[in-house]
Amino acid sequence: MLRYNLSYWERETFFKDFDVAVIGSGIVGLAAAMRVKELDPSLNVAVLERGVLPAGASTRNAGFACFGSMTELLDDMSHRSEDQVLEVVEKRWRGLQRLRTLIGDEQMDFQMLGGYEMFTDDEEDVYRQCLERIPDFNQKIGAITGHPEVFKVVDDRLPRFGFRGVRHLILNQPEGQVHTGKMMATLLRIAERQGIKIFNGITINRLENSSQGVDLETESGWTLRVPRVLVAVNGFAKTLLPDADVTPARNQVLITKPMPGLPVEGCFHYDRGYFYFRNIDGRILLGGGRHLDNAQEQTAEFGPNELIRSALVQLLKTVICPGQPFEVDGWWTGILGLGSVKKPIVERYASNIVIAVRLNGMGVAIGTLVGQEGAEMLMNG
C-alpha cells in the first residue's frame, strides 16, 4: 500500500471543502451522490472509491433487472410477512423505473425479455406450490407493476431453449436485463457531469464522528474531515461498520465464448435461483452455486472456488446447452452484501453518518432507490 501525506497543493486543491463524502462508487454510492446534488446543486460532493473502478458488485453482476421469481418470493414469505415481502417487491419495481429514467434504456441496453424460473423433473412439488399461487401473485404484483399477467407458465417454450431435464418454466413477463458495464459507465458519466468528484484508489480504514464532522482515515495514512458522510460499501461493511448486520458473500461467474445460433434469450433462474444465467452478445453468462460451499464463499475477497466453478461448467454441459459445444471465455467474482433480513439497511449510524448497505442480490433494481433514500436521510438530519 502506498503511504503518503497530502501535499499543500493536494489538500488545498483536490480535497478542500467537501460538504458531503460518499464512500463507495457502486450503484448505491453514485445514486446517493447524485441525489444530494439534486437536492442542493451548490454542495461540493466527493465519492471515495478504493478500486480503479467500482470494485464490489455493481460492475460484476449478472444484469438481471428482476424483482422476484416465484420460489424466491415464496421462500421470502416463509421468513417474513407477505406485506413485508411485497413492500420489497414494490421498491425493486420502483427502483427499476428510477434506474431507467436516470440512465435511459438505450444507454444500458435495457430489454424486457422476461425472467424465467426453471423446474426440473424432481421439482414437481415446488412447481405445484408456485402454480397454485400464480393467480394471487398476479393480482398483488400486477397492482404494483401495472402488468395484467406478471407470471405465466410457458412450458411450450422448452423445446426452443433445448434444456435437458427441465419440465416446467414460469415466466415473469415484465422482468428485463441490462448491460451492466454500460449501466455503470453511464452512471459514472452522469455523476461527473453533475460536478460530483470521484476519486479512485482511496480506501477508508476508519470513520470517526464528532460534532465537527466525520474524520475519514485513509489507508494511505492521511485523514479527511467532511461535515456529512454516506457509507455505501455493501458487502465490505464489516471493516467500517463492525456492528452492521451485513455478511459478505462471494459469487462465481463465467462467460462463454459466442455460441452461433444460441437459443437462450432472457434471464433464467435454476434450482430456486441458486444458479442464474442469461444471454449477452451471443454468449451465456452463468453464475451462482454459492450454496455448494457457503463457508468458503462467505468472504469479501475476490478469488476462485474450484468446486463451484466445476459445478457451473457441469450445469452448462448437462442442462443449459446439452450436446452443444461451448468454450469458457473467462471467470470473475463479485461480492454481495447479505444479512439476517432480506432488506437493505438505510439508517443513521451516527449524527453525521448515514449507511446504505446490504443490497442482497437486488441492487440493479433497488440500488438507485436505496441511494436516494440514504441521501435524503443524510440531508434531512
Instruction: Quote the radius of gyration of the chain (alpha carbons, Å).
Output: 21
The answer to whether 110 and 56 are in contact (CB under 8 A) is: no
Minimum CB separation of residue 25 from ligand FAD in Å reads 5
The three three-digit cell numbers of residue 34, written as one number:
447524485
Return the number of the residue (37 or 50) whose C-beta is nearest ligand FAD: 50
**At closest approach, how far in Å is the CB of 359 from ligand FAD?**
3
Kindly list the distances between the CA atom of residue 250 and the CA atoms of 57, 128, 287, 303, in Å, as whole numbers in the listed order.
Answer: 9, 32, 11, 8
273 to 72, 75, 206, 276: CA distances (angstroms): 7, 11, 36, 6
Closest CB 379 distance from ligand FAD, rounded Å: 19
Instruction: Write the CA distances from 311 to 89, 327, 332, integer angstroms.
Output: 30, 15, 15
Q: How far is the CB of 206 from ligand FAD (least distance, A)?
A: 9
Please say which residue, 57 or 378, places its beta carbon nearer to ligand FAD: 57
Question: By C-beta, is 3 or 260 nearer to ligand FAD?
Answer: 3
**Under the rule (CB under 6 A), what is the footprint of ligand FAD?**
23-29, 48-51, 54-58, 60-64, 66, 203-204, 232-236, 239-240, 251, 253, 287, 334-336, 359, 361-365, 367
Least spacing, CB of residue 224 vs ligand FAD, in Å: 12
* Nearest distance from C-beta of residue 115 to ligand FAD, angstroms: 10
CA dist., res. 137 & res. 67, Å (int): 13
Nearest to 256 by CA among 184, 185, 328: 328
Provide the minimum distance between the beta carbon of 268 and ligand FAD in the complex, in angstroms, as a whole number.
Answer: 11
CB-wise, 44 or 203, nearer to ligand FAD? 203
Q: How far is the CB of 89 from ligand FAD (least distance, A)?
A: 13
Residue 373 C-alpha cell reads as: 433514500
The least distance separating ligand FAD from the CB of residue 317, rounded to whole angstroms, comes to 21
| 8 A C-beta contact, residue 127 and residue 155 | no
Q: CB atoms < 10 A from the CB of 124, how many? A: 12
The strand order across the sheet containing 213-218 reads 204-210, 213-218, 223-226
Minimum separation from the CB atom of position 235 to ligand FAD (A): 6
23 vs 34, which CB is nearer to ligand FAD? 23
Comparison of 234 and 352: residue with beta carbon closer to ligand FAD: 234
**240 neighbors 206 (Cβ within 8 angstroms):** yes
Closest CB to ligand FAD among 239 and 314?
239
CB-CB contact of 231 with 357 (8 Å)? yes
Q: Distance (Å, rounded) from C-alpha 109 to C-alpha 377?
A: 32
- Whichever of 114 and 367 has its CB closer to ligand FAD, that residue is 367
Q: Considering the complex, state which of residue 319 and residue 364 has its C-beta at the smaller distance from ligand FAD.
A: 364
Burial class of residue 165, CB neighbours in 10 A (0-12, 13-18, 19+) = exposed
Identify which of residues 266 and 363 has a Cβ nearer to ligand FAD in the complex: 363
